[in-house]
Each structure stands twice: as C-alpha cells, then as structure tokens.
Structure 1
C-alpha cells in the first residue's frame, strides 16, 4: 500500500464528507496529520485539479477534475448490485422482508428482495407487476414522477384498493405529501392486513431509480414500532441513494 496515496485519498474523503470548504488547520486536525503534510498533499491535488483553493479565504474544496470521474463511476453502478447490502441491512434492522421496486410502465416491479428473520411473511413475488397507486413502495415511485405523468396516471381508470375505490383527489394529496416527506405509509391497499413503508432511491443525476421499503403484518405494528420502521426505511433509502452517487442538497 502506497501511504502517500492513502493520505491523499483521506484528504479527498474529508472534503467530501464535510461538504464545505476547509482550512489546512481543520484538515490536519481531522486527519491527525501535521499541517505541513496536509499542505504538501493539497498542493499536489491542486496541480491535478482534484482540489481547488480560494486564494482570498485560503479555504480548500473539491476540484473540477473530480466531476467527470464521479460521473463515469456512477454511470457504471447497477442499482440491484449496489442495493443488495442496503436491503440486507434494512431486513436486519426491522427483521422483516425488504424490497427494491422499480417502475415498469404504469406498474411497479419488485427487482430485489432480502428476507428478514420473522417467520410470518408477507408474500411479494418476483415478476408480478402491481399498479403504482397500490402500496407504499410503489406509491413512492408514482409520487416522484413528473407532474405530467401523474396527471396522466390520475386520468386513468384506476383499479380499486382491497376494500375501497380510489379517491383520486386524496391520492393526489398523498403523492404530494410523499414527495415532501420522502416517506410513504400504506395500510392494506393490496395485501390484507399489511402495513407498507417506502422511501425513494435516487441516482447521481437526482433521478428516481426506484423505491425501497418493507411490508409488515399489521399485527406486528404498534405506533412505536411504526416510527422505528419509518426511520429505518428512510435512512436506508438515503444510504442506497448515496451509494449511487446521489448527494442530498
């Protein structure tokens, strides 16, 4: 291992993770290296365009030469591969089966699944396409579509939920709330006695690639556990997106 390259990579990681410009003193303190070492590394990174320096404030930030590298790397990422560990983590936290669903026409298609430890399962089968307005995970996908697509979708004849017809105005309100909160919760919309929780997944272009979530038997859900599930799903959606190169604004 070439230690100088490791140190340079650590400097870039600090500038990325702090998400702001830093002084040499701050970088050396965070990495526990002498300021002279930090200055030497930064000078080299500036020469190749990986770091930029504001000559007025003497602050350092990530440089423009990293942009094409990041775009190239992100474009090679397969969401199904990237999301495997995130789904496994979500199932470990919740002990429930977790799912990654993508848009397929006007329906949602389950692409990946990780099994939780609970023996009582909610059945979601690979290859079965279900309408986008049914269930929290698919409804999340619908919520983050362009407005013209949502308008088109709401003009369609929509199939009923399990125990009620679809109120299109209420559905529109739900979609706007999901878009605002970046979380969706459903109750027995297409599976009897099931609570669904979904969160969006974005790529490096800030484009929705799908939604991650869990579907839980209602008997295992209390108000306290629901809050825990929501937090877990939301955090895993953010982690999934970050792994695809997405940056939260």
Structure 2
C-alpha cells in the first residue's frame, strides 16, 4: 500500500513542481516510472478529483480537491505563522482592512486577512471568495496571467455588473489588465461595492512569478485612492517580506 501511495504522490508532486498542465509523456519522463503505471495512476487520481483534464484534452492539471487542500493548508498556516503579523503591521499602518489573495478558477480566495476596527467595513474570513473582474486584487492576478490564457479567460468569464462602474466588456477588461501589468498595481473604484476603493500589489516568488496579491480596501469617504497610492511603497515592502517569510518559489 505504501509503495502505491508513494508512486501516486510522486505523480502529484510532478504536477506541483512543473506548475503547468502536463501530458502523460511529460509525467513519464519526469518521474521515471513505466508509462502504463503512470497512466493508471493518473486515471485513479482523476477519479478522485486530485487531477483533472485541462482545456487541452490530452493534458492534465491538479484537480479541485488538491487545490482546496492547498488553499486550506495555506489559510491554516497563515493563522499561526509570522506572515499574519506582517499583514497586521500593514493593517495598523493603514488602519484599514488588508488581505492576501490568490486566483482560483476566476475567483479570488483570501488566504489571510486582517480586518480594521471601524464598524463600517466589509467583513470576510480567510477562505472567502470574491469575484476577480471587479476587485483590485482580482484584476491584478488576472493581469499577470500569460497573454493567451488571459485572453481566453476574460472571454469565457461571466462579467456580471455589480455597480455602474463594473467592467463588463472583455476587451475593456483586457485593456485594463494591460495597464495594470505595466504600472505594477491595480485599483478598484467602486466596481464591486459603491463607495469602496482598493489598491493591490503583487507578491512574486524567487523566479519573479506572481503567486498572490496584497490589497488594502476602505470606504472612499474614509480613505481615498490618493492616500493609498502615497503608501504603495509600504505595500511593496510588505509584499517582499511575505515572499521571504513564506520562502515562495
């Protein structure tokens, strides 16, 4: 039994290390196991929801159960590690809500979050999901997708309007994403909730790949985007600290 588990875990590790959808041949060459064995393991893992078919039918990627396990692990660890203390320090600087989020199937999942003490606030827990097309952190994470994936993603998303300022045209959202990547940060001006503003910056790994976003948001009546922009260097410094603490990449 342990040998079978070892082989299955080796296959899963291959997908985790490569960070991209893989063909059967890719896995075989990487794990040094017989093709027939790898094929059987992949089919079993697919049946368990640990792997799933990519948009390209001949490729596989990590499945929803693996993604949820990874998210749960990160959320759990962040509640006890010093990353939460670093996030709280930034929250104290702004006196507003700050959070870290990752992109998961066109939505943002908050993996850590520090709420402000004001009675007027949007209160969500780590693990909560928000839409990507109308939030600063979501647009930021979309903007750093590879161009071909970004274009396909935007044209297959349901761009629901939550306020009059929500971007619902894929071409306009694509242009917004290009602007975000060029300037290195994203903003939300009442696109998901009227009167709410937000600013987000990327957290990169050691290979300069974005792996999460760091954001602050507040009612515009309490803090303007101008004030947030003045503190963007603090956010970037915090993003660098989070990368180092988590040993990302």
TM-score, normalised via structure 2 length: 0.60
SS where residue 241 of structure 1 aligns? Answer: helix
> For residues 156-171 of structure 1, what are the structure 2 equivalents within 5 Å?
156=156, 157-163=158-164, 164=166, 166-171=168-173
Whether contact under 8 Å (2:140, 2:213) holds in the other structure is yes
SS where residue 212 of structure 2 aligns? Answer: strand
- Matched residue, 2:200: 198
SS where residue 201 of structure 2 aligns? Answer: strand
Cα deviations across residues 77-96 of structure 1 (Å, max 9, x unaligned)?
x6834531221111011011
Asked which structure has the greater RCO (Cα within 8 Å, sep 6+), the reply is 1
The offset of 1:197, in angstroms, is: 0.8
> For residues 144-163 of structure 1, what are the structure 2 equivalents within 5 Å?
144-156=144-156, 157-163=158-164
Matches of 1:174 and 1:154, distance apart in 2: 11
- Matched residue, 2:45: none
Whether contact under 8 Å (2:189, 2:196) holds in the other structure is yes
SS where residue 220 of structure 1 aligns? Answer: coil
Judge which range, 227-236 or 147-156, deviates more: 227-236
The offset of 1:244, in angstroms, is: 4.2
Judge which range, 192-201 or 228-237, deviates more: 228-237
Whether contact under 8 Å (1:183, 1:234) holds in the other structure is no
CA RMSD of aligned residues (A): 2.5
Whether contact under 8 Å (1:202, 1:244) holds in the other structure is no
The offset of 1:131, in angstroms, is: 2.5
Matches of 1:138 and 1:82, distance apart in 2: 25
The offset of 1:147, in angstroms, is: 1.2
Whether contact under 8 Å (1:187, 1:194) holds in the other structure is yes
SS where residue 109 of structure 1 aligns? Answer: strand
SS where residue 113 of structure 1 aligns? Answer: strand
Runs of at least 5 residues in structure 1 that lack an aligned partner in the other structure? 1-77
- Matched residue, 1:65: none
Whether contact under 8 Å (2:204, 2:212) holds in the other structure is yes
- Matched residue, 1:237: 239
Matches of 1:244 and 1:224, distance apart in 2: 30
- Matched residue, 1:107: 107
Whether contact under 8 Å (2:134, 2:167) holds in the other structure is no
Runs of at least 5 residues in structure 2 that lack an aligned partner in the other structure? 1-73
